[in-house]
Amino acid sequence: MNDDLSSAAAGFPEPFRLLVRETASSTNDELRALAENGAGEGLVLLANNQTSGRGRRGAAWFAPPGESLAFSILVRPREPKALWPRLALATGLAVAEAVESFGQAAGVKWPNDIWIGHRKVAGILVEAGADYVIAGIGINVNVKVFPEEIASIATSLQASRGDVLAAIVRGFARHNRNIGTGFDELLDGVRQRCVLTGRHVSLIDCKGPRTGVVEGIAPGGELLLRTDAGVERLIQADEVRIVR
């Protein structure tokens, strides 16, 4: 483990602890295997080189070695399983607050992206098992050059990788227990940063492609989308794009 990450791990709150792998295919997949074998809550698995990182719907995640952070956090929630999807919002708020601690205004693009300005700096992929949840986080830190296909929509923090990691884990430690009691406060933080409210968007949900105007985020964390049929509450959606 390099000194930067060692220092970060030394300051993690209990029960969080860091496991670094030089190379991993997907930190979510490798942490899932550890969870299935009994790994305890709070394990943070970080790959210096993630070869097959992915976002929602299997989209590839660009993570150049040494110029990004790719890691996953294992939790075993005590709250009812119906509330576990809220961990995506808890993770997003933790990442957004970490970005802000380095002097950048952060936006939350429900359900799983963090923006600086109008460009994506981080993505989140939350996946559940029988008795655990894995929160996967990819964040651009000190990226010098993006591939042409994402250069116009991606951006990067310029900061110590260890400091960014520590800030995110500290925030996650505060917020992940608030998906039940304390969710109103967590949700307020997400709403204040939501970049979709008031915007006309297109997206894909279980009913297929949809368009509408986002009216905000409901008390349960669902996206409020106004369509010709009225206001609907969406628990999950993919390919959420701002049309205007």
pLDDT in tens for each of the 244 residues of the chain? 566 898 999 999 999 999 999 999 999 999 999 999 999 999 999 999 988 776 555 556 667 778 899 999 999 999 999 999 999 999 999 999 999 999 999 999 998 899 999 999 999 999 999 999 999 999 999 999 998 999 999 999 999 999 999 999 999 999 999 999 999 999 999 999 999 999 999 999 888 998 999 999 999 999 999 999 899 999 889 889 999 8
**Residues 214 and 196: beta-carbon distance below 8 Å:** yes
Query: 136 and 187 share a domain?
Result: yes
Query: 189 and 205 share a domain?
Result: no
Q: Six-digit token pair at 86? A: 């809220």
Query: 209 and 132 share a domain?
Result: no
Say how many C-beta atoms besides its own lie within 10 A of residue 82's C-beta. 8
Query: 16 and 52 share a domain?
Result: yes
Query: 12 and 72 share a domain?
Result: yes
Q: What is the CATH number of the domain that holds 204?
A: 2.30.30.100
Query: 95 and 140 share a domain?
Result: yes
Instruction: Report the C-alpha dihedral over residues 87, 143, 66, 30, rounded to 10 degrees.
Output: 30
Structural domain that includes position 234: 200-242
Query: 27 and 88 share a domain?
Result: yes
Domain count, the chain: 2
Instruction: Report the C-alpha dihedral over residues 179, 165, 70, 117, rounded to 10 degrees.
Output: 80
User: Which one-letter amino acid corresponds to residue 199?
Assistant: R
Query: 99 and 122 share a domain?
Result: yes
Query: 129 and 236 share a domain?
Result: no
Residue with tokens 């049929």: 229
Query: 238 and 154 share a domain?
Result: no
Query: 122 and 213 share a domain?
Result: no
Cis peptide before 209 (omega within 30 of 0): no
CA distance 13 to 17: 8
Q: What is the CATH number of the domain that holds 139?
A: 3.30.930.10
Query: 84 and 69 share a domain?
Result: yes
